């Protein structure tokens, strides 16, 4: 009689005459968490690593023998982040001509990412082996080819042998540390040349406002860098300073003379208007009288301004300073009350929506700069590409070597939304040269420097890796051409390669078994 507790642990499924026991918690005595015991009991096992679009399956299992339990140690890794599967139902199918003849199920992992179903076939033969994982978020099916069910253990053979590797790096380690892998693949990469880039304001949309004379700058408000400004918007006023030979007495005398002249000019305008109304003088004479009044008024204002400058009271407006273009103030060289010399910079103004990247390339590559289609570089831990795909354009190519750097310079214009906006910043860049080429490529993050050699780690099995020395070629943003050392469709560690390298310092090779 089966007790209630036992009944909750077992399920019975009849498929095509098979009787299959389905324990809710599988294990079958497999000492998966006892390293020393497992090493002592180590037996030959089938080892399979299989990928689909959703998960990586790394599974180890002994040969299948009729009416004997074979425990599958199935490790599931999500390819979106290379983290373990935390829950789900695992089904293992044996099929003939796509018809299911047996199914074996566990309803949850025995440990994080690891399912341990017991497969107990009761019929010999050759079957298709399929593994299906069902979670709340996705369904993942792995077709593992054909497998035999043997009549006796002495007849059983290993049909899926493990690929040899130099380094053993367990799934538990991969799940806990940064890790990812990717297939070696053909990609279109663009050749590039190394150089240095400097961010500048666009020459056609940049200006520096300078002092027209020696004098004082004044403004009703403080203007700072980053201030948005419109065409003809006021930047303040510039008050020219008098020569050193001027004295207070002469300036006061100039004011009195100007006031007297203005008084006489006003009286003359009144007299001329009366005569004009009577028809005694022409309109021309009246206009000339009004012009004299205007000039006299201006002379008086200027005289008063000069006196204010000399006595330190120079708040009155002088020469109005305005912006010739719309943009933003990128630099401010003065503050209200500053005394500056003629020609000294006051403000730098640039179009805030555009920047230029001036790229300097070594002279030996100078003849190839005409082939450029853009640049790429690393900025704030991100790769930035500036080309026609994001509205960048080539605006300048120098046809002369710049001295003393002996470089050739090109300029790329780009929207500030697509690249760095800090004028004056300088950093290494790569200038695209020529057309793209289809080459065998791996992520640049796959390559580590090992005593001066470029090394990658090829994932030969789920927990087994092989150190390879590679020869590299074209580098294009996140990808680099690999000329030798790996083959198409092999998987290389693209994240955490250094952790795999550290695993070479100790531990056993996992080419022939699962040593947890």
pLDDT digits (tens, 9 = 90+) for 258-269: 888 889 989 888
**Across 52-66, 236-250, 275-289, least confident range:** 236-250
pLDDT at 27 (0 to 100): 37
pLDDT in tens, 133-186: 999 999 999 999 999 999 999 999 999 998 878 899 999 999 999 999 999 999
State pTM to two decimals.
Answer: 0.71
Q: Which domain covers residue 313, as residue numbers? A: 212-350
Cα distance between residue 169 and residue 181, in whole Å? 13
* Strands (E) located in 354-397: 354-362, 372-379, 382-387, 393-397
Based on the fold, state whether residues 458 and 397 are members of the same structural domain. Answer: no
Residue 460: CB atoms within 10 Å: 20
Kindly state the average pLDDT of the residues 345-372.
Answer: 92
Which of 19 and 493 is assigned the larger pLDDT?
493
Given 419, 436, 453, which residue is the final one in a domain?
A: 436
Given 311, 326, 350, which residue is the final one in a domain?
A: 350
- Does the pLDDT value for residue 310 go beyond 80? no
* Placement of tokens 């599958």 in the chain: 72
Residue among 378, 479, 359, 382 at smallest CA distance from 431: 359
**How many whole angstroms from its chain centre is CA 132?**
36
pLDDT at 230 (0 to 100): 92
pLDDT at 444 (0 to 100): 95
Which of 139 and 402 is assigned the larger pLDDT?
139
- Does the pLDDT value for residue 246 go beyond 80? no
- Domain annotation covers residue 172: no
Beta carbons within 8 Å of 504's beta carbon, 6+ residues apart: 166, 167, 467
Residue among 3, 10, 173, 228 at smallest CA distance from 106: 10
Based on the fold, state whether residues 117 and 96 are members of the same structural domain. Answer: yes
- Domain annotation covers residue 167: no
CATH of the domain at 51: 2.60.40.1930
Residues in the chain: 516
Based on the fold, state whether residues 153 and 48 are members of the same structural domain. Answer: yes
How many domains are contained in the chain? 4
Report the greatest alpha carbon distance in the chain: 140
What's the whole-number average pLDDT of the chain? 85
Residue among 466, 464, 465, 458 at smallest CA distance from 514: 464
pLDDT at 242 (0 to 100): 60
Contact 71, 484 (CB under 8 A): no
**Across 37-46, 440-449, 452-461, least confident range:** 37-46
Kindly state the average pLDDT of the residues 282-309.
Answer: 78
Kindly state the average pLDDT of the residues 193-217.
Answer: 90
Based on the fold, state whether residues 371 and 411 are members of the same structural domain. Answer: yes
pLDDT at 510 (0 to 100): 39
């Amino acid at each position: 009689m089966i007790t209630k507790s036992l009944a909750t642990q077992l399920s019975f499924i009849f498929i095509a005459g098979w009787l299959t026991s389905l324990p809710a918690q599988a294990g079958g005595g497999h000492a998966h968490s006892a390293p020393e015991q497992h090493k002592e009991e180590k037996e030959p096992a089938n080892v399979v690593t299989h990928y689909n679009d959703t998960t990586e399956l790394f599974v180890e299992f002994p040969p299948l023998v009729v009416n004997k339990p074979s425990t599958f140690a199935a490790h599931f890794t999500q390819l979106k982040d290379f983290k373990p599967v935390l829950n789900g139902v695992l089904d293992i199918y044996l099929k003939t001509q796509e018809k299911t003849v047996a199914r074996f199920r566990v309803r949850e992992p025995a440990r994080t990412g690891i399912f341990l179903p017991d497969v107990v076939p009761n019929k010999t033969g050759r079957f298709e082996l399929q593994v299906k994982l069902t979670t709340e978020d996705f369904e993942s099916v792995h077709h593992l080819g054909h497998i035999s069910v043997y009549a006796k253990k002495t007849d059983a053979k290993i049909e899926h042998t493990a690929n040899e590797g130099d380094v053993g790096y367990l799934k538990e380690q991969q799940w806990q540390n940064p890790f990812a892998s990717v297939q070696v693949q053909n990609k279109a990469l663009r050749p590039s040349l190394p150089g240095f880039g400097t961010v500048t304001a666009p020459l056609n949309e940049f200006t520096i406002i300078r002092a027209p004379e020696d004098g004082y700058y004044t403004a009703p408000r403080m203007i700072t860098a980053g201030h948005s400004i419109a065409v003809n918007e006021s930047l303040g006023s510039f008050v020219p300073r008098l020569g050193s030979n001027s004295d207070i007495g002469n300036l006061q005398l100039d004011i009195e003379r100007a006031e007297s002249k203005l008084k006489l000019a006003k009286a003359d305008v009144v007299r001329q208007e009366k005569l004009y109304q009577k028809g005694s003088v022409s309109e021309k004479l009246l206009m000339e009288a009004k012009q004299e009044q205007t000039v006299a008024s201006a002379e008086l204002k200027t005289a008063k301004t000069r006196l204010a400058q000399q006595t330190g009271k120079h708040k009155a407006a002088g020469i109005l300073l305005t912006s010739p273009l719309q943009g933003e103030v990128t630099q401010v060289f003065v503050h209200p009350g500053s005394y500056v010399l003629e020609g000294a910079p006051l403000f730098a103004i640039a179009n805030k929506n555009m920047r230029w990247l001036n790229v300097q390339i070594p002279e030996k590559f100078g003849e190839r700069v005409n082939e450029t289609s853009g640049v790429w570089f690393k900025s704030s831990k991100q790769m930035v590409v500036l080309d026609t795909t994001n509205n960048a354009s080539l605006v300048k190519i120098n046809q002369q070597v710049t001295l003393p750097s002996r470089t050739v310079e090109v300029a790329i214009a780009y929207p500030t939304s697509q690249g760095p906006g800090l004028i004056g910043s300088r950093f290494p860049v790569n200038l695209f040269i020529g057309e793209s080429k289809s080459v065998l490529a791996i992520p640049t993050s796959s390559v580590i420097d090992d005593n001066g050699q470029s090394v990658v780690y090829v994932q030969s099995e789920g927990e087994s890796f092989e150190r390879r020395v590679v020869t590299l070629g074209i580098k294009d943003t996140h990808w680099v051409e690999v000329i030798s050392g790996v083959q198409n469709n092999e998987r290389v560690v693209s994240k955490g390669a250094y952790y795999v390298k550290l695993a070479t310092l100790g531990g056993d090779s996992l080419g022939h078994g699962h040593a947890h």
